[in-house]
Amino acid sequence: VTHICPTNGDLRHPPMSTRGGDPDVTSEALAHLLNTSRLGLPPSSLAYKFIAEASDAWDALDEGCAKYTNPLGYYQAPYIHTAVLTDLQPRTSYTYRPEVGNRTFSFTTPPVAGAAEESKPLKLGVWGDVGITNVSFAVMQSLLASEPDVALLLGDYSYADGWSPKWETFGTLMEPLMSSVASLGIPGNHEIAEGNYQGIDWLHRYPQPYRQSGSESPLFYSYETGLVHVLGLPGSYAPTDNATADQPSPQYLFAAEDLSKVDRRRTPWVLVMFHTPWYNSNENHYGEGLKHQWDMEELLYRHGVDVVLSGHVHSYERSHPVYRYEADPCGATHIVIGDAGNYEGPSNSWKEPQPAWSAFREASFGSGLLTVYNATHAQW
């Protein structure tokens, strides 16, 4: 159950519509929820609210939310079933059928950690800031067509933004990919902050393998497949204080311990993913990740992280290997790829001149594919 809190104004006036030009949330739909007088409540009840005109509904919200006293202001999700599959073999295809219904699905497990096959290099699909527009669907289809072994989603899944039924629309729309390809993901601001979700809808629908990696929090974890060690973090959406603080953050402590245990002979490639980027020369979301960067960039550099993947900015940008804004062959390549087609539209404005650390940038829609051939060669 989640509280109805349509906090994002783009639900009312989307730059890119998901409903053929209509808003994602109409005034009539919102008024239907807020108008508790239709329940027959007496005006003396603190749960009573009369909405005379549908256009008045948005102004009747309580700090962006249905008032807590409103018995209609809560969304009950359909049943969510989670099954843990054990004893799966790597690079093996499995077919499954939900007990209700007669549709069958199939997926192929990714390679075991440390495995390298010259004829079948590991392919990691990468996308972020997805949403439920026609563009979102097209990007999903493109990513599926690239036949990734694992899909990495860099936060901001459904853009439900407090209108929780959109989570079900997202699940249905993205079923072709998510029912057939192993997926890892991290939360973004649209999972944590927008809609006052605090990650609840995301955590229940897309749980990550945190316990298997020794994490005590579902927000951060690591996973190994093929020659790659993947570290997923909430980044700016959880405390990031490092070892110099009186009380280092759990996120930092987990990342430090996890990276110290990486066996580069088994997984020579180390990828870190978090939503808000450190290296971003777009006007949109510029500098939002600075605190996280100040706290943790040295840690990633010390452990030789190869690639940092982020979303948040609705455009594409790739850096040269960089550390503290200077070109450094030992630094990580930072990739911002938050352009999978959500309703907020693309981020078109760039800071000029283009920074020296920025190798390429473009306001476009799409996804990425990282192909890892061996311990020394990978292609983006």
Residues carrying an active site annotation: 285
Q: Give phi and psi for 278, each to the nearest 5.
A: -90, -40
Question: Can you tell me the distance from the alpha carbon of 17 to that of 12, in angstroms, rounded to the nearest whole number?
Answer: 10
Map residue 259 onto helix, strand or coil: helix
Residue 220 near residue 254 (C-beta atoms within 8 A): yes
Question: Can you tell me the distance from the alpha carbon of 327 to that of 306, in angstroms, rounded to the nearest whole number?
Answer: 14
Instruction: Give me the residue label for tokens 């020794």.
Output: 214
Map residue 53 onto helix, strand or coil: coil
Residue 208 near residue 171 (C-beta atoms within 8 A): no
Question: Can you tell me the distance from the alpha carbon of 277 to that of 338, in angstroms, rounded to the nearest whole number?
Answer: 10
Sign of CA dihedral 256, 257, 260, 263: negative
Q: Give phi and psi for 108, each to the nearest 5.
A: -120, 130
Q: CA-CA distances (angstroms) from residue 79 to 164, 168, 185, 203, 205?
A: 14, 11, 22, 14, 10
Question: Can you tell me the distance from the alpha carbon of 184 to that of 231, in angstroms, rounded to the nearest whole number?
Answer: 10
Q: CA-CA distances (angstroms) from residue 159 to 8, 149, 168, 288, 332?
A: 9, 25, 11, 20, 29
Residue 315 near residue 368 (C-beta atoms within 8 A): no
Question: Can you tell me the distance from the alpha carbon of 63 to that of 312, in angstroms, rounded to the nearest whole number?
Answer: 24
